[in-house]
Structure 1
Amino acid sequence: MAIRRIDLNLFRVFEAIMRHRSVAGAARELAITPSAVSHALARLRQLLDDPLFIAVDNGMTPTSRAQELAPTIKEGLLRFSEAVRSKTFDPSRSTRTFRIAMSDYATMMFLPCIMERIRTIGPNINLRIFPLSRLDLVGHLDSGRLEMAVGWFANLPKRMRRMPFAVEFEALVVRQGHPLTSEPVTMQRLFAFPHIVVELSGSEERTSDGFIDEQGVERRVWIERLLLDKEDENSGLVGRVAVSVPHYSAVPTLVSRSDMVATLPRSIALREAAREPIAVLDLPYDPLRVTIESVWHQRADQDAGLQWLASEVLQAAEALA
């Protein structure tokens, strides 16, 4: 069958009949006569060499071949419609506002660089940033209330697209002159000091690997993995959480004024060490490694503006690296 000989309107008729299970219902939806629907169905039957729909007492019932074709035809019509409606995106002239959920880490490390790029390329483009840890992420992306999320994730529904753009590691931070700076850090010495824990969810509800599960999305919460992984009967080590905070920004000042210790994303730790009297030390175990990603709904594959923004996020991350 030559594709160029097929009238795409025939598939609109197919999809309407499939939805209404009725020639009359399809005719009403398409604003054409029932005879025009019947004529289109006859042509489609000939093209596909299948009855497609069988007349029954209460309407039309699809054949197995029609049921097999239905999802592909529906998806194809949707993509064709999106392609026709899509417009080129000119950031220099756009006044669009993008709604993005970001983790605390992404807001601190990437947002300034992203905004610097956007200010130059798209001076009238606006961003609205929402807290990643406080949202029904799936529901907001499905409904369009959010257009993108930036953070670290594990499982995502198949309808979500993901673009990795950076890798982060954890590091130990203490005040300058802290007893741990005088010689290599061991687990025993580290557990002798109280800990500051960052729980981005603002809640103690968490799993042992640092992820919280929300409607099929496993979103990482940067927790004190040292306390969770090493505090067991075999090690004999017992740690104390002196302070739990929901933001990384609170940690450097707390550490600099006490003997408390904490782990932070290494890039944040190094940046804050240039501002506060704190030291960045190696951990006595293999550091946690996480991938930072941009996530959006698959329907935005045809959104030129959002694809441009995703590219800007990637380039901002490369510039920081």
Structure 2
Amino acid sequence: MSVQRVDLNLFRVFETVLHCRSVSGASRELGVTASAVSHALARLRQAVGDELFVPGENGMEPTPRAREIAPAILDGLERIEEAIKTRPFEPSNSARTFRISATDYGTTVILTRLIERLAKTAPQLELRIFPYNRMDVVRHLDEGRLDLVIGWFADLPEHLRRTEVLVDREAIVVRRGHPLVGQPIDRDRLFSYPFVVVELTGSGEQAAEGFIDERGVWRRVWIDRLLIETSDEDAVAHVAVSLPHYAAVPGILSATDMVATLPERMARRIADAGTHEILELPYDPLEVAAEAIWHQRGDRDGGLQWLLGELVDVMRSA
């Protein structure tokens, strides 16, 4: 039978019987007679060509065919309900709160530009920024506690989506007046100075090339390829300080002869203040794409998709 000839109310009866495991329980929840529920089930059984529910130890047990089609039916009912209840997203007067996980780099370099635009186009929106260095950000994304995570990623599971926000590269930063400034630099000379390294989780547990695995999401927590990939035992850098954020790096560099490898956009912000300098790399820099990732449920969220569009658009000219 064509689905066009099936009363959609029958699927709501299916959902309720599946939940209650009884005709009488479903009738009470739906506010109709038990006879009406039985009649609806009979019509749906005829349409599907299966018994759907049979008596069992725990009440009306779903048949294998019912279990097979249940996810699609429940998802379809949820989508219909969302379509009816959800109003078109209007950014100019929406007071919605978006929850985003980002590093201080992501907040300073990426989200600041977005916030500047939203202040004009969506002044009532609220952005709540959560730390990227938490070990449970992916769980929070899965559970709906976060809308977006901004960072550097490799592999993602199928239920997560991604979009590129910008591409950055690594740069070496030192204080103004550092002995390396104005001097030819090779790996040995560079490694003769201690390093300050940003390891975003603070755990010290890096996987290959600075990535960690959380629920199938490989996210980068260390951008310093120079230290990770070196295999020359005669040229090993000394990591004097490892910390989970970028904000403290300029102060540490100003007070010492330490060296830091940072994303270039962050390095240029520091250098533009006039107290630090960017050195020429003695190797080809690592380029990394900063991305926004979200749960697949967000594909049907008009507000989130609008925000993603604004984010990507505002970074095109960055």
TM-score, normalized by length of structure 1?
Answer: 0.88
Look up the equivalent residue of 1:4 and give its one-letter code.
Q
Q: Which one of 240, 251, 259 corresponds to residue 242 of structure 1?
A: 240
CA-CA distance at 1:316 after TM superposition: 1.8
Query: Secondary structure in 2 aligned to 1:83?
Result: helix
Look up the equivalent residue of 2:243 and give its one-letter code.
V
CA contact (8 A) 1:86 1:302 kept: no
Q: Which residue of 2 aligns with 1:193?
A: 193
Structure 2 matches for 1:47-58, cutoff 5 A?
47-56=47-56, 58=58
The separation in 1 between residues aligned to 2:215 and 2:169, in whole angstroms, is: 27
The separation in 2 between residues aligned to 1:61 and 1:143, in whole angstroms, is: 29
Taking a change above 3 Å as real, the CA distance of residues 71 and 276 of structure 1, as seen in their structure-2 partners, is same
1:316 aligns with 2:314: yes
Q: Which residue of 2 aligns with 1:306?
A: 304
CA contact (8 A) 2:196 2:249 kept: yes
The separation in 2 between residues aligned to 1:139 and 1:63, in whole angstroms, is: 33
Query: Secondary structure in 2 aligned to 1:134?
Result: coil
CA-CA distance at 1:55 after TM superposition: 3.4
- Please identify, of 169-178 and 87-96, the stretch whose mean Cα deviation from structure 2 is larger: 169-178
The separation in 2 between residues aligned to 1:80 and 1:136, in whole angstroms, is: 32
Taking a change above 3 Å as real, the CA distance of residues 276 and 222 of structure 1, as seen in their structure-2 partners, is farther
The separation in 1 between residues aligned to 2:280 and 2:182, in whole angstroms, is: 13
CA contact (8 A) 1:252 1:276 kept: no
CA contact (8 A) 1:168 1:291 kept: yes
Q: Which residue of 1 aligns with 2:132?
A: 132
The separation in 1 between residues aligned to 2:297 and 2:29, in whole angstroms, is: 24
CA-CA distance at 1:171 after TM superposition: 1.5
Q: Which one of 265, 269, 288 corresponds to residue 267 of structure 2?
A: 269
Structure 2 matches for 1:1-321, cutoff 5 A?
1-56=1-56, 58-134=58-134, 136-176=136-176, 178-182=178-182, 184-230=184-230, 232=231, 234-320=232-318
Q: How many residues are matched? A: 318
Taking a change above 3 Å as real, the CA distance of residues 283 and 24 of structure 1, as seen in their structure-2 partners, is farther
Q: Percent identity?
A: 53
The gaps in structure 2 that reach 5 residues or longer are none
CA contact (8 A) 2:159 2:296 kept: yes
CA contact (8 A) 1:99 1:145 kept: yes
CA-CA distance at 1:179 after TM superposition: 4.5
CA contact (8 A) 2:53 2:60 kept: yes
C-alpha deviations, 1:250-303, integer Å up to 9, x for none?
323433554321110011112322213433234333433322222223333333
Taking a change above 3 Å as real, the CA distance of residues 81 and 279 of structure 1, as seen in their structure-2 partners, is same
Taking a change above 3 Å as real, the CA distance of residues 171 and 288 of structure 1, as seen in their structure-2 partners, is same
Taking a change above 3 Å as real, the CA distance of residues 81 and 167 of structure 1, as seen in their structure-2 partners, is same
Taking a change above 3 Å as real, the CA distance of residues 145 and 68 of structure 1, as seen in their structure-2 partners, is closer
CA-CA distance at 1:193 after TM superposition: 1.5
- Please identify, of 280-289 and 2-11, the stretch whose mean Cα deviation from structure 2 is larger: 280-289
CA contact (8 A) 2:150 2:292 kept: yes
CA-CA distance at 1:20 after TM superposition: 3.2
